[in-house]
Structure 1
């Protein structure tokens, strides 16, 4: 028996997110490679790098909000993999418009060996 071809499903997910989603930016602190040059004041040695993406946001169901793991203002985000050159992590930030959110949880939707999309929980 042959396996299911998830690449077609990934293409469908990307088309829907492109059509109905909105732009956002994943912000990641990366090593600048410079370090400042002065050994007594090396600086942070990091720079914020922006990675554009497409998302759809939604609220959590009331039954899932417990006040600690999921808070009332948390949002669920579906994130397209199209054009994304990084794997999002909880160390990253997600910027939607002028608002920056912390990524609380990040899970790849990967039923086979193909990552279809990412599901995030974000908090401001």
Structure 2
């Protein structure tokens, strides 16, 4: 069962991202059916997000590289949990997710998705 405090935090995060963010998409490629084959299918999910460049002090050249973006994605209304391998479209550019944090403090309610995107 979801904790009330985390539900309120999720609503606050959604309100702030809606106010200061932008519309974007999270794209996930599903592999073909193992029995029938076919082509991979790319599903696009609309999302509200805030892309921000990493501060220079965090860029180490290995884990965080120059050009990487820290992207805050609202969990409200997003039917999937963004994960490594998905692609986020923000600022008209595609960023592959290379690292992510779902921020599920109670293990149930995702407050906000914070992902590291790389072009």
TM-score by length of 2: 0.85
SS at structure 2 position matched to 1:71: coil
Match of 2:27 in 1: 27
**What TM-score, normalized to structure 1?**
0.82
Helix, strand or coil at the partner of 1:5: helix
Larger Rg: 1
1:1-124 matched pairs, under 5 angstroms: 5-31=5-31, 33=33, 42-43=37-38, 45-113=39-107, 114-124=109-119
Unaligned segments of structure 2, at least 5 residues: none
> Gapped runs of 5+ residues in structure 1?
none
Matched residue count: 116
Q: CA deviation at 1:7?
A: 1.1
Alpha-carbon distance in structure 1 between the residues aligned to 2:11 and 2:92: 29
Q: Deviations over 1:52-93 (max 9, x none)?
A: 101111111211111111111111111101110001111111
Choose 23-32 or 50-59, whichever is displaced more: 23-32
Moved over 3 A (4+): 31-35
